[in-house]
Structure 1
Amino acid sequence: MEEPPGDVNSNLLIRKSTGDPKLDTAVWQWLQWDRNPKTKAQIESLLHDGRTKELRERLCCRMSFGTAGLRSAMGAGFSHINDLTVIQTTQGMYLYLERCFPDAMQRGVVVGYDTRGQATSNCSSKRLAKLTAAVLLSKGIPVYLFSKYVPTPFVPYAVRKLRTIAGVMITASHNRKEDNGYKVYWENGAQITSPHDKEILKCVDESSEPWDDSWRENLAESSPLVKDPLENITNSYMQDLSSICFNRELNMKTPLKFVHTSFHGVGHDFVQSAFTVFGFRPPIPVPEQKDPDPNFSTVKCPNPEEGECVLELSLRLAEAEGARMVLATDPDADRLAVAELQDTGRWKVFTGNELAALLGWWLFFCWKKNCPKGSDVEDVYMLATTVSSVILRAVAAKEGFHFEETLPGFKWIGNRVKTLLDNGKTVLFAFEESIGFMCGTQVLDKDGVSAAAVVAEMAAYLDTNGTSLMQQLIKIYERYGYHIAKTSYFLCYDPATIKRIFERLRNYGSPKKYPEFCGPYGVLHVRDVTTGYDSSQLNKKCVLPVSKNSQMITFTFQNGCVATLRTSGTEPKIKYYAEMCGSPGQCDKSFLEEELRRVIDVLVENFLEPSKNGLTWRSA
């Protein structure tokens, strides 16, 4: 192979063949294409030290779009988030957008970013956003680049409000501090699904060498094609937020106090403003976590879903301030955790499924009170991902509205909601169990800012009736049936082990046979959306779309328990989700809880075999 031009040191290193022609080519490409001295030096060092295995992991595979876009560790390599891979992805996106939109040069693209990466880092979200903008600007595409970090929901909101052809958000949400990500939204304001994700990656392969102008980061500041949408979009978002505020006068009078933590991320200013829109006094911020900190220095992991152990500062501040409610937005403010002080003096941290039951009840209650005359409940919809609780299905069955399930990930919810809206339907609420909530349809994605304000209003209303969130949740279960759900995960960093676990379940005892029993529990139905199989259907085919790029198998047991095993789209996890559903009026909650615990125990031991497979159970 002809040696490409380059600096002397790089060419000397390249001559040190790894013995793998494919890897040698990838090393050559990286050292010639990467203009970031830090990430270039990382590859040079690995090559010099003969660390072939790590070189192969970094350079011989490319990231693919998962449930929340591209996510990976920041650092050198085609499998990581860095200047070069962001440039390549944006070049591929530009080529695909150019084919899809003849008016691309008139409509433009929205670009936003969170606060990940040190301000001086070559992998900070702000820098990656500027490089994203530079690629598009160099080809004459107008860019609406936020001048400041924003919540992730602001990008899909801006795409629809500004009628652009797409949007990009640089974020890794609640992932560890070492990670970053690249989320793409289509012109409809929803995250991209197939075929757009696959076509973008095809275009990346067609034009993987960076164009010279793609590295001109200063274009983001000097090009006449750049506009800053921050003030316009913030004002518009807050104005539209008022459409899901139902009792501002009551909110203004409530004696309730709220504590809010933004988890070292972007949420503080925006949640403060949302509370003002709803008529509340601003929530009390957690001072140590109010301002952005890419090191997430006060928490072991920046994920409020982990519960009380990572909400410690919030809970102690609430106790000191006499506040009964704690609201926590994750670092990019698209998800919301809620804790409530109980009469026992203990805190109740609600699961995503429990909050969804409350929010679904509340938004339907408000719709019934405020809907225009002649509105038909038959046109009302709520949605959830298929690994989330089906409590809203029970509510819908009793109240007359529609409930639908989608594949995991808000990209599926967002696109389905847009279709329903285009057909004249009313969508009140959608959720995923991992504390992601869509209240109303101003944003076709999960939104922690709006959810925080809606939860506060619900709490204020209930307080006027002497009722807490927990007490209302019990009333919901008593009316619609107890839905006891449990979700957790195991860490697994070896893709081969993950594949072996799921292939064993597809060939359980004999080829192409799924398990008929799990310990003492008989399996009634099996659905495998990875392969498209569903034993409950006459044609044995899934109703949900096939998702070959991820692992997900759902077991319905003869005792009524439904359990799903799936891999995370953003982290090295095997997750399990299980739920037992009671009938309305049945109050034997303890039986459902005990039966669920037993099923999970045998499910984990028989199907995941954690000891044998070296899996590590979640540790907060």
Structure 2
Amino acid sequence: MTSEIHRWLRRDPDPETRSELQRLLECNDQKELEQRFSGRLAFGTAGLRGVVGAGPNRMNRLVIQETATGLAQYLLAQQVNAHSRGVVIGYDGRPDSRQFAEDTAAVLTAHGIPVYLTVRVAPTPLVAFGVRHLNAAAGVVVTASHNPPQYNGFKVYWGNGAQIIPPHDKGIASQIDAAARSELSMMALDLAQESGLLTMLDSTFYQDYRQALGRSPLLSNHTTPEAISLAYTAMHGVGAEMAEALLKDAGFHQVYSVAAQREPDGRFPTVHFPNPEEPGAMDLVIAEAAKYQATLAVANDPDADRLAVAARTEDGHYQMLTGDQVGVLLGHYLLSRTTPSQSLVGTTVVSSSLLQRIAHSAGAHYYQTLTGFKWLTNVAMEKQSDERRFLFAYEEALGYTVGNLVWDKDGLSALVAFAQLTAELASKGLTLWDRLESLYRQHGLHLNAQHSIALSPGAPAIGDALRAAPPQQIAGEPITATTDLKRATIQYSDGRQEAVNLPGSDVLIYQLASGDRVVVRPSGTEPKIKCYYEVVETVQEQESLEQAQQRATARMSELIAAHQSSLG
């Protein structure tokens, strides 16, 4: 390991990380050195993400330069026109992001690949938009999204504007490994600009995205925007300027931004964990909403590709909507504004099944994928046609895409669409809660929950154990169908079997006789499994929604307790 450390010190272009590593050597901190040099930060379908620091198992300038070299080599091998199409690069407001983006540009241009680099921080959806808008061969966003401040990341889009999927992830990873053993080439950015290899994307590019959303027929519902008001937070991220502009364009003038969280600040000083799903993360925007009695309290995560919503209740308090509730409301709303029989909507295997019921009821086309927006958008591209146009997709982790301007989750266009939905309801004297109740009464109250179960280190793989001894019931309910994505089959309790057209994945889905569902997804990196539960409760005509909710909540508690107990 010592020789590897000294080789790293010779290659590292950053005096700060060199000094950090030198201090670890002087202190003989073998545990920390082992962690940093025991392996390399893995490159996958989400690119890279990790803690910033020295060493190959951390995010730093040398890792970025090696990663960019691997990407350049892979692009040149896979795309004959990469030299003419180029790569779009953007970055968030974290302390190292601009430097990492510039290093990426220096590497790509040294390989003769043109680069379009944003002049300032950019929301992730703008880069995804820019790949297709500029007909680029790929896109890169330097961002760690909603991870804590010590993290950063390197996210890659392919030339279709969607996140990379296999085999590109493995192909790029292989080239990165080769780059780590080779000399690296860099081009000074001023020279790259002089030679025409570097184009700076100025305010015109940002306006291109803004105007494209403004022209979208899916975002053209200007029904009484003055009927509602919104409190908004960018959560110290990069979304505020564009979010406020888009809302203003759509006629929403009662928008109150949380000043303390409006400007990009990668230290995230007012929020412990900058993920809107985390407890306390929405406190400031809800307080701002209460101050003005706003209809909605809304948040983008720090790179603005996700959207979180809290809505005012009848008693004046604010209640968070789940990602599934926002997704179902948006899906139903967008289907009402199009021709359903010509529309394609989708969710993931762990998201609520309510959108599927709504889509089938409306006569729309529905599809389902593995978790992750890389699947939702790449599969949508395969399934859409002139008779079946892509409309909307979402995942329960606050990700939504409205139309095909951005082939990834986009918290900005989703924000505008959700505000327009809320305003349309208000013009009819209705609220979001009213619309949810009507959907629950028509299709059943769908309650979803997620729980992780820790396993003992070294414990046998739970997925294999469940396949070896398949359960016949969960919480006293017979299992009517088991979907095994590793074997790509659906096994029915009556003996029938069907093939599943999804990529292989260690996921088991149990459908119960009651209509409830349990999804088991073992972690590939930790001794734990993730379990997703869905309870569907019929709302009787004469009863209140609260009564049905109480039954569903009680059933959910019993289901989770019984299932976790069965897993030991």
**Fold shared by both chains (TM-score > 0.5):** yes
The aligned counterpart of 1:121 is none
Asked if 1:580 corresponds to 2:543, the answer is no
Q: In 2 relative to 1, CA 70–573 (structure 1 residues): closer, same or farther, beyond 3 Å?
A: farther
The aligned counterpart of 1:591 is 551
Q: In 2 relative to 1, CA 222–172 (structure 1 residues): closer, same or farther, beyond 3 Å?
A: farther
The aligned counterpart of 1:35 is 13
Aligned-pair CA distance for 1:24: 4.2
Q: In 2 relative to 1, CA 218–250 (structure 1 residues): closer, same or farther, beyond 3 Å?
A: same
Asked if 1:331 corresponds to 2:306, the answer is no
CA contact (8 A) 1:327 1:337 kept: yes
TM-score by length of 1: 0.84
The aligned counterpart of 1:45 is 23
Asked if 1:201 corresponds to 2:173, the answer is yes
Q: 2:501 aligns with which of 521, 543, 553?
A: 543
Asked if 1:250 corresponds to 2:221, the answer is no
CA contact (8 A) 2:94 2:149 kept: yes
Aligned-pair CA distance for 1:461: 0.7
Q: 1:270 aligns with which of 223, 229, 242?
A: 242
- Listed as ranges, the gaps of 5+ residues in structure 2 are none
The aligned counterpart of 1:464 is 427
The aligned counterpart of 1:359 is 330
Aligned-pair CA distance for 1:192: 0.3
CA contact (8 A) 1:315 1:326 kept: yes
Q: Deviations over 1:55-83 (max 9, x none)?
A: 33322322334463321111122222111
Aligned-pair CA distance for 1:424: 5.2
Aligned-pair CA distance for 1:450: 0.6
Counterpart of 2:326 in 1: which secondary structure? Answer: helix
Q: What is the 5 A alignment of 1:486-501? A: 486-489=449-452, 500=458
Residues of 2 paired with 1:400 and 1:584: CA distance? 23
Q: Deviations over 1:418-447 (max 9, x none)?
A: 223456521111000011011111101110
The aligned counterpart of 1:62 is 40
Aligned-pair CA distance for 1:528: 4.3
AA aligned opposite 1:344: D
Residues of 2 paired with 1:502 and 1:321: CA distance? 54
The aligned counterpart of 1:172 is 144
Counterpart of 2:186 in 1: which secondary structure? Answer: helix
- Listed as ranges, the gaps of 5+ residues in structure 1 are 1-22, 118-123, 369-376, 610-620
Q: In 2 relative to 1, CA 355–506 (structure 1 residues): closer, same or farther, beyond 3 Å?
A: same
The aligned counterpart of 1:26 is 4
CA contact (8 A) 2:223 2:427 kept: no
Residues of 1 paired with 2:92 and 2:390: CA distance? 28
The aligned counterpart of 1:291 is 263
CA contact (8 A) 1:145 1:227 kept: yes
Aligned-pair CA distance for 1:283: 1.7
CA contact (8 A) 1:271 1:449 kept: yes
Aligned-pair CA distance for 1:573: 8.0
Q: Deviations over 1:157-182 (max 9, x none)?
A: 00001001000011111111111111
Residues of 1 paired with 2:456 and 2:268: CA distance? 29
Q: 1:601 aligns with which of 547, 561, 564?
A: 561
Q: CA RMSD in A?
A: 2.7
Residues of 1 paired with 2:42 and 2:49: CA distance? 9
Q: In 2 relative to 1, CA 474–231 (structure 1 residues): closer, same or farther, beyond 3 Å?
A: same
AA aligned opposite 1:604: Q
Q: In 2 relative to 1, CA 533–94 (structure 1 residues): closer, same or farther, beyond 3 Å?
A: same
The aligned counterpart of 2:468 is 512
Report how many residues are paired: 559
Residues of 1 paired with 2:534 and 2:23: CA distance? 49
AA aligned opposite 1:362: Y
Q: 1:71 aligns with which of 49, 52, 55?
A: 49
Q: 2:275 aligns with which of 303, 317, 342?
A: 303
Counterpart of 1:310 in 2: which secondary structure? Answer: coil
Residues of 1 paired with 2:456 and 2:133: CA distance? 41
The aligned counterpart of 1:237 is 209
| Percent of aligned positions that are identical | 33
Q: Deviations over 1:278-308 (max 9, x none)?
A: 122162100110111111111121011225x
Aligned-pair CA distance for 1:28: 4.1
Q: In 2 relative to 1, CA 215–72 (structure 1 residues): closer, same or farther, beyond 3 Å?
A: farther
CA contact (8 A) 2:49 2:154 kept: yes
AA aligned opposite 2:324: N
Q: In 2 relative to 1, CA 214–166 (structure 1 residues): closer, same or farther, beyond 3 Å?
A: same
The aligned counterpart of 2:158 is 186
Q: In 2 relative to 1, CA 523–31 (structure 1 residues): closer, same or farther, beyond 3 Å?
A: farther
User: Which piece of structure 1 moves more, 475-484 or 576-585?
Assistant: 576-585
Residues of 2 paired with 1:569 and 1:71: CA distance? 16
